[in-house]
C-alpha cells in the first residue's frame, strides 16, 4: 500500500521503457553544468532540507520522491533526471456532460508534450522539447538547429532545498498543479471561447492526489471554472472537471525507428534531419508502433513463433458491463493471428480490470495501463487514440474509447442494410450473440488503430461484387481485405442467398500490414538497414488488390470510399437499393407494429434515408474520379488514372434512374404521415440536391477538363454537363407534366449552375487547384443554360398542366435574370 494523498483530477506520468533503476546516465554539457553547481543558500530562498521536508512529511517514493507537507506538494528530483526526456500527458478523468458536443469523454487526451526538467541558476524549469528538427550532437549544424528551434519554458520553480547528499533538488509544485496553467489545462482555448469561461475559481479547485511510481508520476486535479455558457447545468454558470496529468520517463535509448512507405498505411511521425547528406533538410517519416522484441531471437530466426519480451496488454475499464467483457477481450485478441504472421505469439493480451483487493490503486488514467474505456455517453462512436515517443514513434500507451450508445447504431444499420437477406436482423431486439459479434469487430477495428493502422478504404474494392452473394466466400473472406476499412455489413447479398457472413472480420491485409510494421529484423542495426527488406515485402504483394492501401482522405478516388463494398459501385448500389426497398416496405411491421409507438420507426426511417444517400454517393464518386495506385518509379504504370469513360457515362445514367427520377418508394404514406405532419417534399429535395450539387462542383469539373486535355478519349466536362441536362430536363422533350419533386430538383439545378457561373473564387484561398475565373467552366455553364433556354421556350408551348407551364416560365425568367440582371 502506498502512503498517499487524495483529492481530484490531473495525471502526470513518467514511464521508463528501458529501466526502472535510477542508474547514472551520460549527460549533456548543460546537465553537467547544472550538477556541478554547489548547493548554496541564496537570499534565504534555498533552505535546509529538514526545514522544507519536515518530520511530518508524507512521502511517496518513485521516479521522483513526492512529499506532502501540510497542504504543499514537493518533488525531489534526482540530479540524474535533469535534462532527461519525459512525456507529459494531460487527460480528462471526469467531465460535465456534453463537453465538446459529446465527443469528449473521460480518458480523452488533451495535451501531449515532451519535456525536460532543467536547472537555471536557482530555478528549475520545465522546458518543452521538440523532436521535429534534429541533428546529431556531434555535427556543427546541431548548434543552429537548437538556436532556430528554441523551446518554450512551460513553468519555472524556485529551488526550495537540496537533498542531504546533494543528489536531488526539492521544488514546491503546488502552485503548478492547482493553478490554471494553459500548457496542461483540460480546457483548450476553443472550449474557453465556446463556453465563455471567465476564470478558474481557486476556492473550488485543488490537487486531489499525487502518486509516484518507478516509471511515472500521476497527478489528479479538480478544477472549477466560472463560465457564462457551460455545456450543461447552465444556470450554475460553472464547469467542474477532473484532470489527470501523467509524466512518464522516456527510454534513455529511443527505439530503432522504421521508415514509413506510403504503399502501406500507417500512422506516422516526421522529423527534419539537418544532419543528412541530402542537400536539404531531409524529411524522415517513421511508423508509430509498439516495441516488440522476441524473447528468443535465435528461435525467431529459425521461423518459430516466439513471445515478445514485453507483450501489448489491454485492460478492460472497471465500468464495462459484465455481459460485454468477453466480446471486448475477444476483439482485442483477434489480432494475435496477425502478429503470428509477424513471428510473434501471445503478442497482444486482454485482461479484466484488477479488483480493489488485487490493486487498490489501479486507474484507467494511469499511463502505465492501456485500457478499453467504457463511456457513459449518448454519443454513438468508438475511437482508438494512443501516446507515442515523439523521438522514435514507439507507442507507450493507448486507450480505446467505447461509447455506450454505439451498439444502437450497429443494430440500426444491421436491420437496414442486411434485413432483406438476413431474417435475424428484422427486429429491434438483435440476438445477443450477433450484437456481440458486431462489438467484437468494432473493438478489433479500434485496436488496429492503436497498433498504428489507419483506415484502408481500398480494401473492400478487392472483392468482386458477386462474391458477396457466395456463402463460402463470405465465411472465409468476410466483406473486405482488412478490418480497417469502413465496410461494416454485407448489403449486397440478396434474399435467398445462403450461409452469408454479414459482418466484417480481419483479412489478409491485416496480416500483411502487421508483418510490415512489427516483424523483427535481427540483422538491421538502423532504419536504413531495413529499407531493402521492407521494399521486398511490398513488391511481393504489388498488383494484388487485397494488399492495396487506399487513403481515407482521398476526395477523388472512387475505389477508396467509406462505407462501400465490392469492386463495382453501380452493381453494388443496385443490389443495395433493391434490398433497401424491401426493408422500407416492411419497416413499420418490424418497428411500430411491435412497440406500439412510432419512435423507432421515425429513427430508422431517418437512417434509411442516410443509407440511400450513401449508396447514391458511391456512384457519384466515379464521375470525374481518379484511381490512385501508389507505386515507386521502378513499378510499371501510372499512379493516377481517370475512371473509364463508359463507366462514367453509365454512372450518370444510373443516377438519373435511381436518384434524380423521383424515388417514389421512399414516399410511403404509412411511414411519413405517422412520424411528421409536413416537410415530405423538402426532405427529398435536400437529399437529391446534395448529390446534384456534388456532381456539379468546381473540383470535379476541373478534373474532367484536365483528363480530356490529356486524352481526348476521356470523359469530358462538356459530356458530363450535357448528360446531366438531358436527364434532368427530359420532360421538356416528351411533353410530360413535371411533378413537384422534379420541379424542386430542376430549380436546384438552376441555382447550382448560377453558382458555377458567378461565384467569385480567390485561387489563392480556395481549395481549387485551378483558376476558375480563367478556366472553361463559366463558358461551359453559359452554353448549357443557353441550350436549356431554347428547349424551355419550346416546351412551355406544349400541352402541359398549369403548374408545369408556370414552372417553365419561371425557369426561363431565372436564366434571363442570370444573363441580364435587372
Mean pLDDT of 32-37: 42
What's residue 159's pLDDT? 97
Poorest-confidence range of 5-19, 224-238, 452-466? 5-19
Cell 483540460 belongs to residue: 186
* Strand 238-249 relative to strand 216-227, pairing: antiparallel
Which grid cell is 316? 478492460
CA–CA separation, 526 vs 140, rounded Å?
A: 22
Q: For residues 736, 740, 746 and 747, what is the CA-based torsion angle, rounded to 10 degrees?
A: 140
Give the pLDDT of residue 493: 98
Q: What percent of the chain has pLDDT over 70?
A: 91
Helix/strand/coil percentages in the chain, nearest 5: 40, 20, 40
DSSP 162-229: E-TTSSEEEEE-HHHHHS--GGG-SS-HHHHHHTTEEEE-GGG-EEEEEEE-SSEEEEEEEEEEEESS
The pLDDT-based confidence of 767 (bands split at 50, 70, 90) is low
CB 86 within 8 A of CB 114: yes
Query: Three-state DSSP class for 651?
Result: helix
Rounded CA-CA distance 556/644 in Å is 14
- 144-201: pLDDT as tens digits: 767 677 789 999 999 999 999 999 999 999 999 999 998 888 888 899 999 999 999 9
For 186, 197, 609, the CA distances from 189, given in Å and listed in that order, are 10, 9, 37
| Backbone CA torsion sign across 268, 272, 273, 278 | positive
With cell 500548457, the residue in question is: 183
pLDDT tens string 264-311: 999 999 987 777 667 667 789 999 999 999 999 999 999 999 999 999
Provide the 3-class DSSP secondary structure of residue 253.
coil
For the segment 515-525, the average pLDDT, to the nearest whole number, is 97
Q: Which range, of 145-149, 163-167, 637-641, 776-780, averages the lowest pLDDT? A: 145-149
Q: Please tell me what DSSP assigns to residue 250.
A: P
- When pLDDT is averaged across residues 99-123 and rounded to a whole number, the result is 87
pLDDT at 14 over 90: no
pLDDT at 40: 52
- Residue 648: which pLDDT band, with cuts at 50, 70 and 90? very high
CA distance 731 to 529: 67
Nearest-angstrom CA–CA distance, 192 and 184: 14
What single DSSP character describes residue 149?
S
Q: What is the pLDDT of residues 708-739, one digit of tens each?
A: 999 999 999 999 999 999 999 999 999 999 99
| pLDDT at residue 43 in the model | 55
- Strands of 277-418 (E only): list them: 282-287, 312-316, 348-351, 370-375, 382-383, 386-388, 395-403
Q: Which of 99, 105, 104, 103 is CA-nearest to residue 230? A: 99
Paired residues of 171 in beta bridges: 75, 159
pLDDT of residue 363: 84
Under 8 Å CB-to-CB from 756, ≥6 apart: which residues? 696, 698, 701, 777, 778, 781
> Which three cell numbers mark 423?
431474417
The confidence score (pLDDT) of residue 31 equals: 40
Average pLDDT over every residue of 490-508 = 97
CA–CA distance, 117 with 81 (Å, rounded to integer) = 7
pLDDT digits (tens, 9 = 90+) for 381-401: 777 788 999 999 999 999 888
Asked whether the predicted pLDDT for residue 360 surpasses 90, the reply is no
Segment 526-549 mean pLDDT: 96
Backbone angles phi, psi at 114, to 5 degrees: -85, 130
Whole-number pLDDT of residue 10: 34
Render pLDDT for 391-433 as a digit per residue (tens, 0 to 9): 999 999 998 888 777 888 889 999 999 999 999 999 999 999 9
* pLDDT above 80: residue 131: no
Between the two ends of the chain, the Cα-to-Cα distance in Å is 84
pLDDT of residue 25: 39
> How is residue 424 annotated by DSSP?
G
Residue 96 sits at φ, ψ, to 5 deg, of: -75, 155
In this prediction, residue 30 carries a pLDDT of: 38
Is residue 441 classed exposed, middle or buried when 0-12, 13-18 and 19+ CB atoms within 10 A define those classes? buried
Q: Give the DSSP per-residue string, 449-496.
A: HHHT----TTGGGGS-GGGGG-HHHHHHHTTSS-TTSS--B--S--TT
- Pairing type for strands 626-628 and 109-120 reads unpaired
Query: Quick one: pLDDT at residue 764?
Result: 64
User: What Cα–Cα distance (Å) separates residue 663 from each residue in 282, 568, 584, 590?
Assistant: 55, 22, 12, 22
The residue-averaged pLDDT of 106-110 equals: 82
| Span 43-97, pLDDT tens digits | 568 999 999 999 999 999 999 999 999 999 999 999 999 999 999 999 888 888 8
Q: What is the pLDDT of residue 130?
A: 84
pLDDT at 24: 37
- Is the per-residue pLDDT at 436 higher than 70? yes
Comparing 15 with 463, the larger pLDDT belongs to: 463
From the CA atom positions of the chain, what is the Rg in Å? 31
pLDDT at 358 over 80: yes
Question: Is the pLDDT at 800 greater than 90, yes or no?
Answer: no
Query: Where along the chain do its domains lie?
Result: 29-249, 297-573, 591-819
Would the pLDDT of 5 be above 60?
A: no
Rounded to the nearest 10 degrees, the angle between the axes of helix 508-518 and helix 432-451 is 30
Q: Which residue has the higher pLDDT, 164 or 760?
A: 164
Mean pLDDT of the chain: 90
Domain over 297-573 is classified CATH 2.40.128: no
- Most confidently modeled of 359-368, 371-380, 770-779? 770-779
The model carries a pTM of 0.89
When mean pLDDT is compared across 27-31, 216-220, 308-312, 384-388, the lowest value belongs to: 27-31
Give the mean model confidence (pLDDT) for residues 787-797.
Answer: 95
Residues 6+ apart with CB under 8 A from 543: none
pLDDT classification of 35: cutoffs 50, 70, 90? very low
Amino acid at each position: 500500500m502506498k502512503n498517499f494523498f487524495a483529492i481530484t483530477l490531473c495525471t502526470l506520468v513518467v514511464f521508463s521503457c528501458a529501466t526502472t533503476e535510477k542508474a547514472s546516465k551520460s549527460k549533456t554539457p548543460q546537465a553537467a553544468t547544472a550538477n556541478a553547481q554547489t548547493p548554496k543558500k541564496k537570499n534565504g530562498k534555498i533552505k535546509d532540507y529538514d526545514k522544507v521536508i519536515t518530520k511530518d512529511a508524507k512521502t511517496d517514493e518513485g521516479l521522483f520522491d513526492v512529499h506532502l507537507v501540510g497542504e504543499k506538494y514537493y518533488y525531489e528530483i534526482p540530479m540524474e533526471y535533469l535534462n532527461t526526456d519525459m512525456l507529459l500527458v494531460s487527460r480528462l478523468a471526469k467531465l460535465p456532460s456534453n463537453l465538446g458536443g459529446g465527443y469528449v469523454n473521460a480518458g480523452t487526451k488533451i495535451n501531449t508534450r515532451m519535456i525536460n526538467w532543467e536547472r537555471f541558476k536557482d530555478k528549475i524549469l520545465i522546458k518543452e522539447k521538440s523532436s521535429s528538427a534534429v541533428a546529431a550532437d556531434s555535427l556543427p549544424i546541431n548548434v543552429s538547429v537548437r538556436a532556430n528551434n528554441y523551446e518554450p519554458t512551460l513553468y519555472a520553480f524556485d529551488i526550495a532545498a537540496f537533498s542531504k547528499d546533494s543528489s536531488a533538488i526539492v521544488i514546491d509544485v503546488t502552485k503548478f498543479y492547482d493553478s490554471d496553467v494553459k500548457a496542461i489545462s483540460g480546457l483548450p482555448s476553443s472550449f474557453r471561447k465556446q463556453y465563455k469561461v471567465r476564470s478558474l475559481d481557486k476556492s473550488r479547485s485543488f490537487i486531489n492526489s499525487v502518486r509516484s511510481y518507478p516509471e511515472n508520476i500521476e497527478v489528479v486535479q479538480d478544477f472549477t471554472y466560472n463560465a457564462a455558457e457551460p455545456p450543461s447545468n447552465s444556470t450554475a454558470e460553472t464547469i467542474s472537471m477532473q484532470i489527470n496529468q501523467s509524466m512518464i520517463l522516456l527510454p534513455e535509448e529511443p527505439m530503432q525507428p522504421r521508415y514509413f512507405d506510403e504503399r502501406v498505411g500507417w500512422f506516422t511521425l516526421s522529423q527534419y534531419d539537418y544532419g543528412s547528406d541530402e542537400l536539404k533538410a531531409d524529411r524522415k517519416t517513421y511508423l508509430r508502433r509498439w516495441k516488440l522484441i522476441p524473447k528468443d531471437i535465435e528461435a525467431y530466426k529459425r521461423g518459430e513463433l516466439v513471445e515478445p519480451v514485453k507483450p501489448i496488454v489491454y485492460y478492460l475499464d472497471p465500468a464495462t458491463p459484465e455481459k460485454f467483457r468477453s466480446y471486448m477481450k475477444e476483439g482485442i485478441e483477434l489480432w494475435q493471428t496477425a502478429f503470428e504472421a509477424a513471428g510473434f505469439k501471445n503478442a497482444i493480451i486482454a485482461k479484466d480490470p484488477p479488483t480493489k483487493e488485487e490493486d487498490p490503486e489501479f486507474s484507467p488514467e494511469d499511463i502505465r495501463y492501456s485500457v478499453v474505456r467504457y463511456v457513459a455517453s449518448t454519443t454513438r462512436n468508438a475511437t482508438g487514440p494512443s501516446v507515442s515517443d515523439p523521438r522514435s514513434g514507439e507507442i507507450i500507451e493507448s486507450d480505446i474509447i467505447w461509447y455506450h450508445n454505439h451498439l444502437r447504431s450497429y443494430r440500426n444499420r444491421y436491420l437496414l442494410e442486411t434485413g432483406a437477406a438476413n431474417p435475424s436482423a428484422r427486429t429491434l431486439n438483435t440476438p445477443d450473440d450477433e450484437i456481440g459479434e458486431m462489438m467484437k469487430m468494432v473493438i478489433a477495428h479500434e485496436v488496429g488503430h492503436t497498433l498504428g493502422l489507419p483506415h484502408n478504404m481500398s480494401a473492400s474494392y478487392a472483392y468482386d461484387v458477386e462474391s458477396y452473394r457466395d456463402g463460402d466466400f463470405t465465411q472465409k473472406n468476410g466483406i473486405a481485405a482488412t478490418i480497417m476499412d469502413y465496410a461494416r455489413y454485407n448489403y449486397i447479398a440478396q434474399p435467398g442467398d445462403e450461409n452469408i457472413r454479414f459482418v466484417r472480420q480481419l483479412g489478409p491485409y491485416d496480416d500483411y500490414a502487421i508483418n510490415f510494421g512489427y516483424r523483427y529484423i535481427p540483422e538491421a542495426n538502423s532504419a536504413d538497414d531495413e529499407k531493402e527488406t521492407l521494399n521486398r515485402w511490398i513488391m511481393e504483394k504489388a498488383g494484388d488488390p487485397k494488399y492495396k492501401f487506399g487513403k481515407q482522405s482521398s476526395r477523388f478516388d472512387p475505389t477508396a470510399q467509406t462505407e462501400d463494398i465490392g469492386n463495382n459501385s453501380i452493381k453494388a448500389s443496385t443490389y443495395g437499393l433493391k434490398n433497401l426497398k424491401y426493408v422500407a416496405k416492411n419497416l413499420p411491421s418490424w418497428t411500430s407494429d411491435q412497440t406500439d409507438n412510432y419512435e423507432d420507426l421515425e429513427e430508422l426511417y431517418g437512417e434509411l434515408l442516410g443509407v440511400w444517400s450513401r449508396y447514391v454517393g458511391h456512384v457519384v464518386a466515379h464521375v470525374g474520379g481518379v484511381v490512385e495506385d501508389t507505386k515507386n518509379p521502378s513499378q510499371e504504370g501510372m499512379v493516377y488514372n481517370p475512371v473509364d469513360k463508359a463507366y462514367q457515362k453509365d454512372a450518370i445514367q444510373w443516377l438519373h434512374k435511381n436518384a434524380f427520377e423521383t424515388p417514389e418508394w421512399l414516399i410511403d404514406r404509412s411511414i411519413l404521415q405517422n412520424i411528421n405532419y409536413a416537410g415530405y417534399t423538402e426532405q427529398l429535395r435536400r437529399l437529391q440536391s446534395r448529390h446534384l450539387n456534388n456532381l456539379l462542383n468546381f473540383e470535379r469539373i476541373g478534373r474532367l477538363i484536365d483528363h480530356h486535355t490529356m486524352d481526348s478519349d476521356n470523359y469530358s466536362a462538356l459530356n458530363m454537363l450535357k448528360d446531366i441536362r438531358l436527364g434532368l430536363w427530359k420532360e421538356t422533350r416528351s411533353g410530360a407534366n413535371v411533378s413537384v419533386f422534379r420541379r424542386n430538383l430542376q430549380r436546384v439545378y438552376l441555382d447550382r449552375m448560377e453558382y458555377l457561373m458567378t461565384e467569385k473564387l480567390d485561387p489563392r484561398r480556395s481549395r481549387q487547384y485551378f483558376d476558375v475565373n480563367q478556366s472553361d467552366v463559366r463558358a461551359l455553364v453559359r452554353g448549357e443554360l443557353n441550350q436549356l433556354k431554347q428547349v424551355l421556350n419550346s416546351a412551355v408551348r406544349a400541352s402541359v398542366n398549369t403548374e408545369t407551364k408556370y414552372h417553365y416560365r419561371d425557369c426561363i425568367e431565372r436564366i434571363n435574370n442570370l444573363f441580364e440582371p435587372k
